[in-house]
A and B are shown apart, each in its own frame.
Chain A
Amino acid sequence: MATLHELTRQGALHVSDVKRHKGLRAHVLLLPAYLWLGLFFLFPLLIVVYYSFTERTPLGDSIPVFTLEHYARLWDPLYARILWRSLWLAVATTLITILLAYPFAYALARTPKRWKNLLLLLSVIPFWTNFLIRTYAWMVILRSNGLLNTALMSLGVIEYPLSLLYTPGAVLLGLVYGFLPFMILPIYVAIERLEPSLLEASADLGAKPWQTFLRVTLPLTAPGIAAGVLLVFVPALGMFVIPDLMGGAKVSLIGNLIQNQFLGARNWQFGSAASVVLMALVIVGLRLYKRFFKMEGVF
């Protein structure tokens, strides 16, 4: 398999060497993608960057005068708290999903073959299920006259319904629930690829199980964790649906701030500044991350 792969790649290399002067053809094939992404992706982003640095008229229009006031406003304690909350919730979500997913993925990878496909399918289904529906499922359980409160009251544990929904805890629960499948799959793939003979070798050479885990298993499966972190941390940072549905107005994150500035308060300049900061956090984070893990090709 590997040799065939190598040969194909060499073949491709050979073809491309011969046809190097046909770079023009490559650009013709890429032209629709250039145009579409240039016009409907890059240009809109540049508009947002532009708005974030321009002064706002009382009517909400941008006038081409450079200002940093929208960025300065993000340091206002009211908004700084939202940024800080987004950051720690995203970090907490990432750490909790790693802790929950790793042992699960490990056990899944070691499951006897006849069960494995079924269990794998069961792990993949939530991955494909709409975020809105998965968030709503928790609303059904946590709302004031929901399943949990009704059960606790009928058991006599509590007299009045607890306000479980619209709290930071509910948002964290929603985030962990929403993103757990995104952490399980890449870690599972990494553990599945792990060569069992390496673990046997480690044991034969006298390592205790925990030593083997820390010094062989964990380093070799780190790329899986790294890929999972990308799939969880980045979208959790910009998450808008879960805090909106499970946090209400009380627990808003950067995503809710941006949405509110664009659709509610209609201060596009300030909303743009928040968008640029979010984008910068993601891109700088990814760069550092790639350097740290020396990853290539994963986004």
Chain B
Amino acid sequence: MTVRRSGIRVAAGAYMALIFLFLYLPIGVLVAYSFNASRLQAVWTGFTLDWYRELFDDFAIWAATSNSLVVGVVSAVVSTVIGTMAAFALHRYSFRGKGAFEAFLQLPIVIPEIVMGVALLAFYVLIEMPLGLHTVTIAHIAFNISFVTVVVRARLYSFDFTLEEAAMDLGANRWQTFFRITLPLIAPGVAAGFLIALTLSLDDFIIAFFTAGAGSTTLPMQVYSMMRFGVTPKVNALSTLILLVVVTIAAVAQFIVQGRNGKQVPEEE
């Protein structure tokens, strides 16, 4: 029995290792080649940082990065405000047509991105709005509202609304109650909504592809046009840097979540 158990454990471990290899080997190759001296060949010819140097001298990449950050922050702020308001309304009140609105709110999540992209392009052309960073921002707010509402609403389930009533019984007015009781308590949920919105915006390629003007390339669009041109060590270097940022953020987020859980466990017991 124990022999069989350990056999299963070894098999499970080997299988997990295989899947991790499948997930990470291509990324590892990509990162390794960003340091390869040869521009064209897959043969390793020596270590270099030339491609990173070339990257830092590329004005287009800096411009695209700053465009992405502007669109990301603006769309995340606006969609967090609108989405939080909607989440509040849906959590707190029952009203006619609520079910229909909730179903409608889920549409931007399930509609294929490419359809949303071409629809917005058709809309901007119809109303003769020239494409630019503002058109991408408007589009990103539109799909982010749904995600923020879902995330914030999930966190509102653990919010105790009797605290608001208590504050008002003790003489606080509606605004004081909101800013001094409600907002601090729901802040983690709102922050989570903001981060999701920011991430989705920075990550989006397809909708930006259809709604950005000629001079308003975002970072994923820049990456895409470089990739279409072909495999170059410079794209490898850019991809490596983006990966590094993502891994750092994921690790920090995981650390925060774990830290918080660690604190909560003794409280509950």
Contact = CB atoms under 8 A, between A and B. Distances in A.
Nearest to B27: A137
A65 interface: no
B89 A133 contact: no
Interface in B155-176: 157-162, 165
Contacts of B105: 33, 37
Contacts of A32: 81-82, 85-86
A198 interface: no
B90 to A, nearest CB: 8
Interface string B25-36: 011011001000
B123 A43 contact: yes
Which of A5, A41, A100, A150 has the most B CB atoms < 10 Å from its CB?
A: A41
Interface size class on chain B is 35 or more
B23 to A, nearest CB: 5
Candidate in A4, A130, A262, A271 with the most chain B CB atoms within 10 angstroms = A130
A279 interface: yes
Interface in A1-47: 1, 4-5, 8-9, 11-12, 15-16, 19-20, 22-23, 25-27, 29-30, 32-34, 36-37, 40-45, 47
Contacts of A263: 210
Interface in B103-159: 104-116, 118-123, 126, 138-139, 141-143, 145-146, 149, 157-159
Contacts of A40: 120, 123, 138-139, 141-142
Contacts of B223: 130, 132-133
B30 A132 contact: no
A141 to B, nearest CB: 6
Interface stretch (A66-74, A77-85, A121-129, A217-225): A121-129
A110 interface: yes
Contact of A29 (B86, B96, B108, B249): B86
B184 interface: no
Interface in A57-111: 100, 103-104, 106-108, 110-111
Contacts of B121: 262
B14 to A, nearest CB: 10
A234 interface: yes
A136 interface: yes
A263 B243 CA distance: 30
Interface string A180-191: 110000000000
A171 to B, nearest CB: 15
Contacts of B26: 134, 137-138, 140-141, 177
A294 to B, nearest CB: 17
Which residue, of B23, B104, B107, B138, has the highest number of chain A Cβ atoms within 10 A?
Answer: B23
A240 B115 CA distance: 11
Nearest to B89: A29
Interface residues of A, number: 96
B260 to A, nearest CB: 13
B114 A258 contact: yes
B239 A279 contact: no
A167 interface: no
B142 to A, nearest CB: 4
Contact of B251 (A121, A136, A241): A121
A23 B98 CA distance: 10
A147 interface: yes
A150 B38 CA distance: 14
A299 B110 contact: yes
A107 B17 CA distance: 11
Interface of A: 1, 4-5, 8-9, 11-12, 15-16, 19-20, 22-23, 25-27, 29-30, 32-34, 36-37, 40-45, 47-48, 51, 100, 103-104, 106-108, 110-111, 117, 119-126, 128-141, 143, 145-147, 149-151, 177, 180-181, 234-235, 237-238, 240-241, 244-245, 255, 258-259, 262-263, 268, 271-272, 275, 278-279, 282-283, 286, 299
Given A106-B12, A136-B231, A180-B19, 13 more contacts: A11-B162, A26-B92, A37-B146, A40-B138, A42-B104, A47-B122, A120-B254, A136-B30, A145-B41, A237-B112, A255-B114, A272-B118, A299-B109
30 contacts: A4-B158, A16-B93, A22-B93, A23-B93, A29-B86, A30-B86, A32-B82, A37-B104, A40-B123, A44-B119, A45-B115, A47-B123, A48-B118, A51-B122, A121-B250, A122-B24, A124-B250, A124-B254, A128-B199, A128-B250, A132-B205, A132-B227, A133-B30, A134-B26, A146-B231, A147-B42, A181-B23, A245-B228, A271-B118, A272-B118
